[in-house]
Chain A
């Protein structure tokens, strides 16, 4: 892919009509902005703040679990911590971070002047902080924050919920609106704003994964909205969707929730595939191996995500046919995922690999995500899942996929594009510290959870039997070490914004894509005229 028309920035200023106005300064710039880079930065900062908030809650959990017995928090507050930690990390940290990356990178990668619907883009972002203010404000209400787990299973969230359920429901509604609007913007940008000549199969894989993810979002976020609405009416208006006494069924809650919930977990991992499919070729100095198979694998995973939801509920009661169907469909996902892992390995094979920090995070992603994938395969088997269900094995599984998977890919992407965003190279030794501290501590944090789970330690309980004490101690130490390691990243990013070695337009010699054809930092408006793609 080459470009022969790169924006001439001097020509840029001479346009001078109202759509190239100068950016405002101060708070108004951020409140009123319609610029995809501003909004991308807002998303990324918001997600990082939420990541630290949700992380602090995880540390409360780990502090309580440092030793057996109840010592630091009340059980009910512990439940609020597990619930809000999950909600914040899913809807406040991982998803907005990906949307932020999409905002920053998609228009540049497809050669567009901005996102397709810039004002809507601003709205999608700015409703998020309000939604999380409502959710967090519930900690200060008499009833306390939601305490029924981020999956808000009925009847915990209906009959037995505390008084803040209404606020939880409306906060989730707003998060859903934000995601749907953001996803519509991504889909329309990709379908309608590609530079001439950029056919679908010439799009960077990063663009493909966000394209497919956005479809998943549009399809399932409304189902989540429907679910919380039923919880709301069951709790406050006397309906009995999830109550057998009125002809409903609590198991129905789980079906509807996981019809949203399972595509949701791919919403949090498909963009990660896109990021490492960008970084691994760049630092292996080779083309991505099997580009088209990557596209088809992503699409297959997305399709399968709609027909596997009940593997989350093998133990809650289902006809035998259902158990078998969902087991086989789930195991089928290992095929396209295996294609991806194979392709990443094949991309690195005989490549001229260099180990810059984005590549370190990407390699760690491939290995550790695969561990999470294998434990997922174990959980997919109905008879063994009866043993693992609701134990720390599940916690280990999804944290390997979401922390060393999604989060590590976000770090890889952030390091990869920081020079493009800020115009400065990041501090290399700090970044190495961040990587190695994270890598060691995250495994100390999550790997022993596998053993705890196999030995039968249940999740979401503030106390445990004595035989789990040693592992839990190490897990908690790993947790605090991992949390503190992230502060290195915060310092690094601030330093990188303030200064540092000037970055060239293309600081990575193996990097490909339109974003590297513009100067670093990328100009406020990137492509006034679409570049031509051969």
Chain B
């Protein structure tokens, strides 16, 4: 009975407050982190993790509990599909777990709710992580989490096609890259030299165009605002678009056709993350491909994504939660995690193990991680990404000019704002 009345009170209160209006306080800025108590972790620690990570995390949790006998870690796996909504509502209803895996591009949004706890500097050392990955946790100058695993994008190239095209070494520059792609098509016999857009829709195409912008010295935003229409960016868009104009890249590849077409040699190359090693192996292409680093100009920068771990303000066991996070960031645990589900370590030392450094395919990803960037961690990022996707689609499919696309991206991003 009491709870019912409370609910009624909440609604009435909401109505009254909304009527009078309170207005926002603009108190954003750096937030200090509180230290974490010394000693072993104790008490219940609840953790959410998505997909395979959620399914297998209990393996590491068991190890952790052996080291900290007074702590009890409960892992709830959450499907990726719907995970964003689940986190958003949990923060709204103050029903969060202690720790959760959070997609790198969601950090800005969730940190801005004030629902995430700043990373305790006494426990976690920034220098241990890849810089690009660490930056995904930094919002308004404060870090709100820890990179757990990373992925970056390389070009997967069909070896047979490359051999026919007479390519012996991966291209280093944009010019070499372009002529290599042309060769994959003309000499290598591929129908398409490269596939750049995600199959099935243009959603997520920002991940394949931004590396070119970054490599050309451009960026999504600098301190002063968005720079999506900078000369460097426009030049990168034009380079990207040229693959479509010259018939080197398909405009509308249907869903799920990429891998079979690639293995048959119909598509010469495509950019993707480390998970494609497994996908191609599953389809009988284990030894049919090679990996190319991003071609360079000012730099040779790729995209870095993955997952971060964050502790919530509403956590019931904050100290225990951070200790668990710190444990997951230990180099030996990171290596074990790779051996468990093939997630690449976000901690640099985690790569020292021969399982990773001795594998030519993986070490290619490791090398690229040294030069990889993420989009700015701002709460409006997903919306800006969608705007970029839309303009990339207009440019590649409907022939919009790079200058116009740049102008439209910049204008849409500016009107969306940074959510500050």
A, B assembled together: no
